[in-house]
Amino acid sequence: MHKSIFALFALVLFNLGISFAQTSEYNLSEEDRLYTKVENIQIQTTQGEELKLSNLYNREPLILALVFTRCTGVCSPLLSNLKENITRLNPKLKFKVLVVSFDTADTKVDLNNYAQLLGLNDDERWVFGTTYQINELIESVGFHSQWDSVTRQYEHDALLVGINGNGYIIKKLIGIRDVRALEVMLKSIHNEFVISYPLPHNNSVLSCFSYDPITGKKKLKFGLFLLLIPALGTIILLVVISSQKRQLRK
């Protein structure tokens, strides 16, 4: 019987090892630039306004989305998902969504057409705009993009940035997220208390579980194995002692 226990112990170790190896490549961070102030850039909106970013977040907390209108990838799904999630929230919640193009080739006309395509051009909660200070903005929020000359597309983060009324980055969401994640972001940028935890990363070797915000999957990690060592060791020891006693009686 003790051989079966040892086999079970080895199997648990093997599975946890696989999980650890799979998650060690995970390197998304939603904590980068948190609690730092967003660059107070100049925005030109599709409604013809020219204003500072602070003019927007001083009125209401902001959710910032960075996209480009020629995007054939995640831009439209990101905004459509955000639009759908917002319809499920309390309509009395006060906040704005600011959509800024990080592609300098985009014009206000391009963005206005893009807003119309998404059915958001007449929604007062949404503001679409361009800026000549895009580099300062993406640097201040930790947004990453890279031009692919073959596909003629940007490889970029699907990122939402929550900015509170003082201009500080309070919450970031990477990937297509559900309405619960959006609710947490809104509580955060309204300075409400939210229980938080760091996302797993390559340095979180001793964590018990990992969570992938894109797939929503949770996996066991090496830390759980460490917690189980005393219990498993005790069980194995008891089995061995019991087995030896039976052999001595024979």
Summarize pLDDT for 201-244 with one digit per residue, the tens. Answer: 555 666 776 766 556 566 777 777 777 888 888 888 888 888 88
pLDDT in tens, 22-47: 444 444 578 889 999 999 999 999 99
Q: Are 172 and 159 in contact (CB under 8 A)?
A: yes
Sequence-ordered list of residues with C-beta below 8 angstroms from that of 95, at least 6 positions apart, any chain: 60, 61, 62, 63, 125, 186, 189, 190
Q: What is the largest CA-CA distance in the chain?
A: 94
Rounded to whole angstroms, how far apart are CA atoms 56 and 59? 5
What pLDDT is attached to residue 22? 44
Residue 75, class by beta-carbon neighbours within 10 Å (0-12 exposed, 13-18 middle, 19+ buried)?
Answer: buried
Report the amino acid identity of residue 44: Q
Tens-digit pLDDT profile for residues 93-147: 999 999 999 999 999 999 999 999 999 999 999 999 999 999 999 999 999 999 9
Residue type, 227: L
Selected residue with higher pLDDT from 228 and 161: 161
Range from 6-10, 206-210, 244-248 that averages highest in pLDDT: 244-248
Tokens describing residue 188? 């955060």
- Quick one: pLDDT at residue 12? 52
CA dist., res. 250 & res. 248, Å (int) = 5
Q: Cα(180)–Cα(96) distance, rounded to whole angstroms?
A: 18
Q: Where are the alpha helices (DSSP H) in the chain?
A: 2-23, 53-57, 75-87, 108-117, 134-141, 179-189, 222-249
